[in-house]
Amino acid sequence: MCGIFAAYQVPDIKAFKPKALEYSKRIRHRGPDWSGNVVANNTILCHERLAIVGVDSGAQPIQSEDGRYILTVNGEIYNHIQLRSQLKDYKFQTMSDCEVIIPLVEKYGVDAPKYLDGMFAWVLYDKQTDRIVAARDPIGVTTMYMGRSSKNPKTLFFASELKCLVDECDEITAFPPGKVFDSNTGKTTRFFKPDWWDEDRVPHGDADYMAIRHTLEASVRKRLMAEVPFGVLLSGGLDSSLVASIAARETAKAIHETANTEDLTGVDDEGHLRLSTGYSKLHSYAIGLPGAPDLKAAKKVADFIGTIHHEHHFTLQEGFDALKDVIYHLETYDVTTIRASVPMYLLSRKIKAQGVKMVLSGEGSDEIFGGYLYFASAPNAEEFHKECVKRVKNLNLADCLRANKSTMAWGLEARVPFLDRSFLNLCMNIDPKYKMIDEKAGKIEKYILRKAFDTTDEPGAKPYLPKEILWRQKEQFSDGVGYSWIDGLKDLAEKQVSDEQMKHPKPEWGADIPHTKEAYFYRVMFDELFPSKAAASTVMRWIPKAEWGCAEDPSGRYAKIHEASVADNN
């Protein structure tokens, strides 16, 4: 991934260019490898590059041979090999997987994103017609914001992160996932229209275990497309452990090409993974406070699947010291997101220091399968499914935002196999009755995902995971790094925020009032970093589902069925 910034129809582009370069520099952490910019008419496109595919020839912004089209992209296009073979009339200028976007827009216009399999946020400028087309991937794995200024209503701004826009824009929105903007119409329209997007439609598909297994395997295989060292984030929970297990298998059997050849990296037409990283054995990474539950589980998984494992520790004080930096990079004051992001942010720095530029991560599974423990209180299958759809739709403002920004703070790219379009279409169309948590029947959370990778009844089959990991209870990342992490954050906030402050929230917060001292503490830090209403308007806070008995505190330990339930221990 990378960082992008674009300004369209700027009144005085020559005078604005130094500002544009300064704004782009604010996200250089996302792309430390190279910086580029192109000015055409009254528009400027900037790019901060993190080179993972097309390392030698993929610098951006990318221009078509005739110079008409200029493209800046943050993302990865996994089906670029297939698309290149279909777009033979276009003369490619680079080996970048992202260049296929230019001929797709040339051929299909605003329908171009429909043909892309990947995670992306891009802005394409047609200087012949003075037209901007911008799009974001279906679920919002890749971040992007869009801004406007009342001083110059015709000017549009796009950026990977909020911090690029706050000085220019008094109206900022998170660019909606699965949509494409066209300056010719001024409209943002939806290109991602799966049947499961309708929350009121209850699917009736079977839980086909082998289909689930094979589709997730294919998803992981795609995301191993890289020309640089990569690894996996391994918390020891079900989701990251499955991704790591599949990745270890796929890496071992991949066809390795000589690095820096003219061979394209990715999955070829025969479904084979082609790599040029020089890696034949997978590296895995875990973090936690000393003695954390996740560290023990992660080590067990790593030993079982045979990765080169790296275990890192942090102290409570190191976590506290990182809070303001984390909020600066996350651009949110949501309690759940911040709690989980600090360890991920610290781990990402350790990983980048070891020369790794890309990791796979397990986000999305809990939303797809109803894996959070509060789903056990769903009144029926219909409501269970409706909540799943809502959670998937909000991923761009929650777990995807966390995974993207926590890692990209250090120029590390996170890829999320569970949010593959094919995997989503399969699993979101399964009848929710198969996903329901039923303790009496022995069906714990994500039962069908666990069964899909249970090889117990397959003679001679190599297990994907140890049994105790495959059937380990859901542990939220912010809990699994050590229970004292969240307890420590609460204690810290208690010391920083007075009862008097809680009684008198700031008038500018309006109805968005923090209900805990921890939430108040984070909101104050956010306001210091981003003191504009436009910035705060982009934030979504996690709201408990009280009617399901969901606790105000988002920690999984507040769910009654958690094995280390706070309620049981008080």
Catalytic residues: 2
Sequence-ordered list of residues with C-beta below 8 angstroms from that of 9, at least 6 positions apart, any chain? 42, 43, 130, 154, 155, 156
Question: Mapping DSSP to helix (H, G, I), strand (E, B) and coil, where does residue 240 land?
Answer: helix
The residue ranges of DSSP E strands in 29-186, in sequence order, are: 34-40, 43-49, 62-63, 69-77, 118-126, 131-136, 145-149, 152-159, 171-174, 179-182
Query: Has 361 been labeled as part of a binding site?
Result: yes
Report whether 233 contacts 285 (CB < 8 A). Answer: yes
| Among candidate residues 255, 301, 305, the one with its CA nearest the CA of residue 462 | 305
Report whether 256 contacts 276 (CB < 8 A). Answer: yes
| Among candidate residues 375, 377, 394, 379, the one with its CA nearest the CA of residue 447 | 375
Question: Mapping DSSP to helix (H, G, I), strand (E, B) and coil, where does residue 508 land?
Answer: helix
Query: Has 287 been labeled as part of a binding site?
Result: yes
Cα(292)–Cα(315) distance, integer angstroms: 11
**Length of the chain, please?**
570
46, β-bridge pairs: 5, 37
Count CA atoms closer than 13 A to 38's CA, side-chain side: 19
Distances in Å between the Cα of 536 and the Cα atoms of 17, 332, 509 are: 27, 8, 9
Question: Mapping DSSP to helix (H, G, I), strand (E, B) and coil, where does residue 460 land?
Answer: coil
Query: Has 362 been labeled as part of a binding site?
Result: yes
Q: Which two tokens stand for residue 269?
A: 């037409």
Task: Label residue 406 exposed, middle or buried (CB < 10 Å: 0-12, 13-18, 19+).
Answer: buried
Cα(282)–Cα(232) distance, integer angstroms: 8
Cα(361)–Cα(231) distance, integer angstroms: 9
DSSP structure class, residue 472: P
DSSP structure class, residue 206: -
Indicate the annotated binding residues. 97, 233, 287, 361-362
Indicate the annotated binding residues for L-glutamine. 97
Indicate the annotated binding residues for ATP. 233, 287, 361-362
